[in-house]
C-alpha cells in the first residue's frame, strides 16, 4: 500500500511540476511523453505513464526526468502545444505519439527525436522511430516459421477494407509478389461463399458424393471399408495451399476461421497462422481451430509485466503500454552508450536490443522485432 501511494504521488509530482525540471543540471536525461491524458483515450494515457513509472523504478537512475504532456485525441493543436512545452522543459527525445496520424507534424521539430509506439511504419523517418510491432516483423517471423514446418504453398488472405491498400503496399515492400493472396469480404453472409470458392469446396463436395456413389453397389470388404471412411468426412480432395496467413483479428478473424472449417480445410493438413494477436484469451473459446499460430511479444515477459503492473496500480495495463516501458529502456541505453542523445542517428545500433517485448534491431533504416511464434493449446499459449 505504501508503494502504491508513493507511486501515485510520484505521478502527480511529475505531471504538475515539470517547470522544476528545467533548472536541473545538463547531465540529466529529460524524456518527454506524449499521451492522451484527456478525451476518449485518457485511460490509455494514464496506463502509458504508469508503465513509464515501472521502467523508472527498474532503471533506478535519478538523472532521468520525465516530462509528460497531454497530446489529446485527434487534436493537432493540442499535440503541437504539448510538444512545444516539452521542448521548453529541455527534453530532446519524446516517447509518443501512440499512432502515426500526425507524423508530418513531428517532422518540423528537427531538433527532437520521437520514439513512437505506432506499428504502422517500421521505417525510421527523419526524426521518428516507431517501435510498435510492425506487420513486416510479424510476417517475416511467420514465413520463417512456415519454412521450418516445410510448407511449400502459402496463401496470404486479408479483408478487403480500408486497410487493404496498406497491406498490399507492405506485401510488395517485402517482395512477396510470388505468394498467392486473397481478399475477402468481412460480412459473414458473404464471407462463407468467398471461402468456399477459395477452397474449391463445391468441387470437393462433388468428388465425395461421386466416389461414394461408385462404392454403394459394391459388396467387397475393401469397398465397404472405404465407404465407411467416406461417410465420416465432408469433402474429398485437398485445397491448393498447405499453410495460410490470415491478416485479421478479433471477431472478423474468428469468422474467417469458422468459414475455413465449414469449407473443410483440415488443420492437420493446413498450417493456420495469423497476426495482430496480443494473447487474446477470447480465442480459447473459438472452437473452430485447435492450433492457431501467431507471432507476438515475449509471453513470459508480457505476463510478468502485466502481473506487476496490476499489483501496483490495481488495474490491468493497456496491452501496448509495455512498448512505452521498452521505449524508455532504449532511450536510456542510447543515452548511456553515447554519453547523450543528439539526434536520431544515435539510435542506429548494430547490436540487437533486448527489451520486455523481445529482441529488436535496427537494419536498413528500419526497426525489426525478432518475434516468437505461439499457438493456442488447452486454454494457454505455447511457444513454438
> For the segment 276-288, what is each residue's pLDDT rounded down to a tens digit?
777 777 776 666 6
Q: Residue 249: its pLDDT value, please?
A: 87
213 pLDDT above the threshold of 60:
yes
pLDDT by residue (tens digit) across 20-68? Answer: 443 444 589 999 999 999 888 999 999 999 999 999 999 999 999 999 9
Please give the grid coordinates belonging to residue 227. Answer: 465407404
Q: In this prediction, what percent of the chain has a pLDDT beyond 90?
A: 54
* b/e code 11-29 from CB counts within 10 Å (16+ = b): beebbeebeebeeeeeebb
Q: Looking at 16-30, 145-159, 187-201, 336-350, which range is the least confident one?
A: 16-30
The mean pLDDT of 248-256, rounded to a whole number, is 90
At 223, the pLDDT band (50, 70, 90 cuts) reads confident
What is the architecture of the domain spanning 2-133+299-368? 3-Layer(aba) Sandwich (3.40)
What is the architecture of the domain spanning 135-199+239-296? 3-Layer(aba) Sandwich (3.40)
Nearest in space to 204 (alpha carbons), one of 296, 132, 269, 108: 269
Residues spanned by CATH 3.40.50.2300 within the chain?
2-133+299-368, 135-199+239-296
pLDDT by residue (tens digit) across 303-324? Answer: 999 999 999 999 999 988 999 9
Cα 278 from Cα 295, distance rounded (Å): 9
Q: What is the dihedral of CA 248, 148, 286, 189, to 10 degrees?
A: 40
The mean pLDDT of 252-279, rounded to a whole number, is 90
pTM for the full predicted model: 0.85
Q: Looking at 104-108, 164-168, 255-259, 350-354, which range is the least confident one?
A: 350-354
At 375, the pLDDT band (50, 70, 90 cuts) reads confident
Provide the H-helix boundaries in the chain: 2-16, 42-59, 76-88, 103-106, 135-148, 164-173, 188-198, 201-216, 221-230, 250-262, 299-313, 321-338
For residue 383, what are the CA distances in angstroms to 298, 300, 319?
9, 10, 19
173 pLDDT above the threshold of 70:
yes
pLDDT by residue (tens digit) across 59-99? Answer: 999 999 999 999 988 889 999 999 999 999 999 999 999 88
The mean pLDDT of 171-176, rounded to a whole number, is 91
Sheet holding 381-383, edge to edge: 180-184, 154-159, 243-246, 271-274, 293-296, 372-376, 381-383
Mean pLDDT value across the chain: 87
361 pLDDT above the threshold of 90:
no
Q: Residue 3: its pLDDT value, please?
A: 45
Amino acid at each position: 500500500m505504501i508503494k502504491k501511494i508513493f507511486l501515485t504521488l510520484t505521478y502527480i509530482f511529475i505531471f504538475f511540476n515539470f517547470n522544476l525540471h528545467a533548472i536541473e543540471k545538463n547531465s540529466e536525461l529529460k524524456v518527454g511523453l506524449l499521451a492522451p491524458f484527456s478525451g476518449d483515450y485518457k485511460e490509455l494515457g494514464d496506463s502509458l505513464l504508469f508503465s513509464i513509472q515501472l521502467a523508472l523504478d527498474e532503471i533506478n537512475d535519478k538523472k532521468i526526468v520525465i516530462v509528460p504532456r497531454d497530446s489529446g485525441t485527434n487534436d493537432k493543436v493540442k499535440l503541437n502545444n504539448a510538444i512545444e512545452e516539452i521542448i521548453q522543459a529541455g527534453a530532446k527525445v519524446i516517447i509518443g505519439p501512440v499512432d502515426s496520424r500526425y507524423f508530418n507534424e513531428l517532422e518540423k521539430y528537427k531538433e527532437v527525436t520521437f520514439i513512437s509506439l505506432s506499428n504502422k511504419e517500421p521505417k525510421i523517418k527523419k526524426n521518428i522511430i516507431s517501435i510498435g510491432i510492425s506487420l513486416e516483423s510479424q510476417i517475416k517471423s511467420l514465413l520463417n516459421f512456415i519454412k521450418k514446418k516445410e510448407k511449400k504453398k502459402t496463401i496470404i488472405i486479408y479483408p478487403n477494407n480500408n486497410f487493404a491498400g496498406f497491406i498490399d503496399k507492405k506485401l510488395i515492400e517485402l517482395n512477396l509478389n510470388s505468394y498467392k493472396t486473397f481478399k475477402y469480404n468481412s460480412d459473414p453472409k458473404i464471407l462463407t461463399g468467398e471461402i468456399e470458392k477459395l477452397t474449391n469446396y463445391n468441387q470437393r463436395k462433388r468428388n465425395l458424393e461421386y466416389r461414394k456413389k461408385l462404392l454403394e453397389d459394391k459388396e467387397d470388404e475393401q469397398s465397404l471399408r472405404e465407404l465407411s471412411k467416406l461417410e465420416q468426412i465432408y469433402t474429398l480432395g485437398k485445397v491448393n495451399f498447405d499453410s495460410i496467413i490470415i491478416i485479421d483479428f478479433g471477431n472478423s478473424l474468428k469468422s474467417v476461421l469458422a468459414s475455413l472449417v465449414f469449407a473443410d480445410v483440415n488443420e492437420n493438413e493446413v498450417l493456420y497462422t495469423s497476426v495482430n494477436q496480443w494473447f487474446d484469451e477470447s480465442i480459447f473459446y473459438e472452437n473452430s481451430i485447435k492450433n492457431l499460430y501467431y507471432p507476438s511479444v515475449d509471453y513470459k515477459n508480457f505476463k510478468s509485466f502485466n502481473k506487476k503492473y496490476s499489483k501496483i496500480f490495481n488495474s490491468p495495463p493497456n496491452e501496448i503500454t509495455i512498448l512505452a516501458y521498452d521505449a524508455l529502456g532504449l532511450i536510456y541505453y542510447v543515452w548511456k552508450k553515447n554519453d547523450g542523445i543528439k539526434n536520431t542517428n544515435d539510435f542506429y545500433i548494430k547490436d540487437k536490443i533486448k527489451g520486455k517485448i523481445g529482441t529488436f534491431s535496427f537494419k536498413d533504416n528500419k526497426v525489426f522485432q525478432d518475434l516468437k511464434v505461439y499457438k493456442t493449446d488447452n486454454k494457454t499459449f505455447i511457444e513454438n
